[in-house]
Amino acid sequence: MGILADRESRLLIDGTLVAGSAGTFPTVNPATEETLGVAADASAEDMSAAIAAARRAFDETGWSTDTALRVRCIRQLQQAMRDHVDDLRELTIAEVGAPRMLTAAAQLEGPVEDLSFCADTAESYSWSTDLGIAAPMGIKTRRTVAREAIGVVGAITPWNFPHQINLAKIGPALAAGNTLVLKPAPDTPWAAAILGELITEHTDFPAGVVNIVTSSDHGVGALLSQDARVDMVSFTGSTNTGRAVMADSAATLKKVFLELGGKSAFLVLDDADLAGACAMAAFTASMHAGQGCAITTRLVVPRSHYDAAVEAAAATMGGLKPGDPDKPGTICGPLISERQRERVQAYLDSATAEGGRFACGGGRPADRDTGYFIEPTVIAGLDNTAKVAREEIFGPVLTVIAHDGDDDAVRIANDSPYGLSGTVFSGDEERAAGVAARLRVGTVNVNGGVWYSADMPFGGYKQSGIGREMGLAGFEEYLEIKAIATAV
Ligand code: NAD
């Protein structure tokens, strides 16, 4: 692995690191706007070669049935990442704009350690279940249910938590016996390409099992959905792109697994510690500049305490100045790109146009004219019909909405096309559990509990996705089920 400066990353196709046929494209440090180096730019032909390699490795090698080999390779990749964790950390801070403190958790070290769960699950998994002998239609039959890999998986990932999302697909897909082509976001090609270097230098992965294809062209990723040689697409990204992936996959009826956007609610019930809850909501919404799909971006508080809630949220959020992600104390770094900053600014403008006001923040920080920074912002004075309450912003923006009791709070939380996550705060755990049970979302935090871990399934209801990532459910997404009936 080389140093960061002037790095030129390559594609991994059929076990070999190669240049992209379409040349290279730059990767940019979002905190400084400096070009860090370049990544290989794949063409449609490169993608086709990667799919062919994955197809061949699945159809013509013993990969899918050699569990011991798969477990060994995954553990080798994990160890290589641990051994290079300091280089990976610098790369992540520079390319993703991820605050240094988050690299000790979900931005890097967490997902590396989570690979253990994938290897352990493959080792202990019951690949077949004996249902015993029965006589359906009068024919004595021994029945077995076998689980086996789906085949070639196309993994398409976004830029916000690249290691977490790349590994949460690579880990279970490969542990389950599939082969794979990873197509990362054009904003963070290095986080994926570095895996190619580690795989070729430090692991026994057979050629073609893992292929990594970076590209500046979203259309190259779309080929994974369209190509008949791919059996499944595992996609994380925006809901709109998820729709395109699903539509493209329809022609070949491949399985689609979708982790999409969110507009999650943080419900504060009237018996909760209001100031503590609002401070936590504000802190969470500012983390990594709000670029997390499951961040609770609607703070729903009792109407009678609305002003106090806005004040408490603004006191925390106003104090979390966006800063250099390299500094140990920074929690809110830059957005990923100029395009994203403009997008977030347009949402902030829509809030004031609809009659809302900023209790703190509201635009670019005055002291930062380079870097794609935006101030952590609390929006008050709007209800759940406002654009900023309905659409995913993907910036450090919290909209405070009033509720008139528990039923109304649940109604507001569920009044969204999304259903990814939610939080409930109450002084009464049973009451909080009752409200949590009524939320139409895939993960719920009650009074500060953490649902993120390798053995917990993560995913969304409604337009937040289809399927679950991580946990046993996330492993089984990558398996087919075969029923075998043997006459006895
Ligand atoms: P995006 O949808 O723009 O891009 C995601 C990936 O899809 C990229 O690799 C991109 O190149 C690729 N892509 C774009 N068009 C495509 C097409 N037509 N066919 C196939 N691939 C295509 O998302 P983004 O802006 O990179 O990431 C932010 C979004 O990701 C947010 O909406 C966020 O909520 C979502 N996200 C969801 C989760 C989750 O687990 N639910 C996690 C992280 C991010």
In this predicted model, what pLDDT tens digit does every residue of 221-271 receive, in sequence order?
Answer: 999 999 999 999 999 999 999 999 999 999 999 999 999 999 999 999 999
Instruction: Report the atom number in ligand 1 closest to the C-alpha of 159.
Output: 26
Could you tell me if 290 and 445 are in contact, meaning their C-beta atoms sit under 8 angstroms apart? Answer: no
Nearest CA to ligand 1 atom 31: 238
pTM: 0.98
Question: Which burial class, exposed, middle or buried, applies to 226 when counting CB atoms under 10 A from its CB (0-12, 13-18, 19+)?
Answer: middle
3-class state of residue 445 by DSSP: strand
- Residue 243: partners with Cβ closer than 8 Å, 6 or more residues away: none
One-letter identity of residue 87: D
Helix, strand, coil percentages, rounded to 5, for the chain: 40, 25, 35
Q: Strands of 88-237 (E only): list them.
A: 128-134, 141-149, 152-156, 179-183, 210-212, 232-236
**Gap between the Cα atoms of 247 and 240, Å rounded:** 11
| Distance of CA 158 from the midpoint of ligand 1 (Å) | 5
Contact in structure between 190 and 39 (CB atoms under 8 Å): yes
For residues 234 and 168, is the Cβ–Cβ distance under 8 A? Answer: no
CATH of 7-260+465-487, one of 3.40.50.11270, 3.20.20.70, 3.20.80.10, 3.40.605.10: 3.40.605.10
Q: Which residue has the tokens 């990353």?
A: 9
Output the CA 258–ligand 1 centroid distance in Å.
10
Query: Could you tell me if the CB of 222 is within 6 A of ligand 1?
Result: yes
Q: Is 221 in the pocket of ligand 1 (CB under 6 A)?
A: yes
- Is the distance from CB of 396 to CB of 377 less than 8 angstroms? yes
Going by alpha carbons, the residue nearest to atom 30 of ligand 1 is: 237
Ligand 1, atom 15, lies closest to the CA of 218
Whether residue 293 has its Cβ less than 6 Å from ligand 1? yes
Give the distance (Å) from ligand 1 centre to CA of residue 157. Answer: 6
Ligand 1 pocket, residue 241 CB under 6 Å: yes
240 — phi, psi (to 5°)?
A: -65, -45
Return the structure tokens found at 388: 């900023």
Cα separation of 12 and 20, whole Å? 10
Token duo for residue 153? 């998986």
* Whether the CB of 291 sits within 6 Å of ligand 1: no
The residue whose CA has the least distance to atom 8 of ligand 1 is 185
Q: What is the DSSP letter of 273?
A: -
Beta bridge mates, 154: 181, 233
Q: Which residue type, as a one-letter code, is found at position 473?
A: A
- Residue 7's pLDDT is what? 85
Q: Which residues contact 66 (CB under 8 A, 6 or more apart)?
A: none
Local mean pLDDT, 10-residue blocks, the chain (488 residues): 72 98 98 97 99 99 98 98 97 98 98 98 98 98 98 99 98 98 98 98 98 98 98 98 98 98 98 98 98 98 98 98 96 98 98 98 96 98 98 98 99 98 98 98 98 98 98 98 98
Q: Which residue has the tokens 């500060």?
A: 448
119 lines ligand 1 (CB under 6 A): no
Domain ranges of the chain: 7-260+465-487, 264-453
For residue 134, what is the DSSP state? Answer: E
Separation in Å, CA 238 to CA 221, 222, 261, 308, 418: 14, 14, 5, 34, 11
Ligand 1 atom nearest to CA at 238 = 32
Task: Determine the Cα–Cα distance for residues 46 and 39; give it in Å rounded to an integer.
Answer: 14
Asked if the 264-453 domain carries CATH number 2.40.37.10, the reply is: no
Does the beta carbon of 160 sit less than 6 angstroms from any atom of ligand 1?
yes
- By the 10 Å C-beta count (0-12 exposed, 13-18 middle, 19+ buried), 68 is classed as exposed
Q: Do the beta carbons of residue 191 and residue 184 sit within 8 Å?
A: yes
- Alpha-carbon gap, residue 167 to 273, rounded angstroms: 37
Q: Is the CB of 223 under 6 A from ligand 1?
A: no
CA distance linking residue 432 with residue 441, whole number of Å: 15
Q: Cα(106)–Cα(22) distance, rounded to whole angstroms?
A: 33
> The tokens of 196 are what?
């190619």
Measured from the Cα of 259, ligand 1's closest atom is: 41
Count Cβ atoms below 10 Å from residue 482 Cβ, excluding itself: 11
Mutate which of 226, 249, 293 for ligand 1 pocket (most atoms within 8 A of beta carbon): 293
The torsion region of residue 339 among left (phi > 0), alpha (psi -120 to 50) and beta comes to alpha
Count the alpha carbons within 13 Å of 196 in the hemisphere toward its beta carbon: 30
What's the rounded Cα separation, in Å, for the pair 191 and 159?
9
Q: Is 465 in the pocket of ligand 1 (CB under 6 A)?
A: yes
**Amino acid at residue number 228:** A
Could you give the residue numbers annotated as active site? 259
* Residue 244 CA to ligand 1 centre (angstroms): 11
For the purposes of burial, counting CB atoms within 10 Å of the CB of 47, is it exposed (0-12), middle (13-18) or buried (19 or more)? buried
CA 226 / ligand 1 centre spacing (Å): 17
13 within 8 A of 49, measured Cβ to Cβ: yes
Q: Which pLDDT belongs to residue 19?
A: 98
Instruction: State the number of CA atoms in the 13 A half-sphere of 409 facing the CB.
Output: 26
Tokens for 444, please give them.
């719920």
* 137-183 residue pLDDT tens: 999 999 999 999 999 999 999 999 999 999 999 999 999 999 999 99
